[in-house]
Chains A and B, each alone.
Chain A
Amino acid sequence: DAGVTQSPTHLIKTRGQQVTLRCSPKSGHDTVSWYQQALGQGPQFIFQYYEEEERQRGNFPDRFSGHQFPNYSSELNVNALLLGDSALYLCASSTTGRQAPGELFFGEGSRLTVL
């Protein structure tokens, strides 16, 4: 049973460019959340997608957008990249049938470096 998979694992971009990160949730999961983790900090919640719609959003600007596909996979898009967007981007999946909110399964992340 594959867990949460993310791609690419590492990438380098320059300021002003755009990036797309991809996530496939754990089998049987229908909800995908994205987090940003800067060096030395805990992960910060970006947004969550369920039924192809954004259901919850953290304190991130509109440059951060996402999408969820009918097969539950998801993309995170970041436009007009800034140096401060350099971070590990984590995808987490969950299922609406779980016992309590907050029980998430995380992928290994995509390491983005902005030069």
Chain B
Amino acid sequence: DAKTTQPPSMDCAEGRAANLPCNHSTISGNEYVYWYRQIHSQGPQYIIHGLKNNETNEMASLIITEDRKSSTLILPHATLRDTAVYYCIATLLDGLTFGKGTHLIIQP
């Protein structure tokens, strides 16, 4: 797995877009970028993944830079329930390597 770097914590106002950055400068050409989140005392929840193109689903959007060295997860309209630890993972394997992630706190 490529090493990923995320800020340890971020704040965002409720109703605003939350933009979570991730650096994966050593990513290889066939490694996917995955995002998971973990709400306190629950198991991690899959959010989205991408390889080269930007992706969007009902939960979030994933923007991957053209050189694939970084990406941004966007939660378009953050709610209090989006407060969680968000993990960015770059891998081509099922055995995911989770770092410490970003603790996103949504402020009312």
Interface of A with B (CB < 8 Å)?
4, 31, 33, 35, 40-45, 47-48, 55-58, 90, 92, 94, 100-109
A94 touches B43 (CB 8 A): no
Interface of B with A (CB < 8 Å)?
32, 34, 42-46, 49, 51, 85, 87, 89, 91-101
- Chain A residue at minimum C-beta to C-beta distance from B95: A45
A104 touches B93 (CB 8 A): no
Chain A min CB distance to B43 (Å): 3
Chain B min CB distance to A59 (Å): 10
Residues of chain A with a CB closer than 8 A to B98's CB: 35, 42-44
Q: Quick one: which of B46, B93, B100 contacts A103, CB cutoff 8 A?
A: B46
Can you identify 13 A-B contacts, CB atoms within 8 angstroms? Answer: A42-B85, A42-B98, A42-B101, A56-B93, A94-B94, A101-B32, A101-B92, A102-B34, A103-B46, A104-B46, A105-B46, A106-B44, A108-B43
A41 and B94 contact, Cβ closer than 8 Å, known pairs A102-B32, A103-B49, A108-B43: no
A43 and B95 contact, Cβ closer than 8 Å, known pairs A102-B49, A102-B89, A103-B34: no
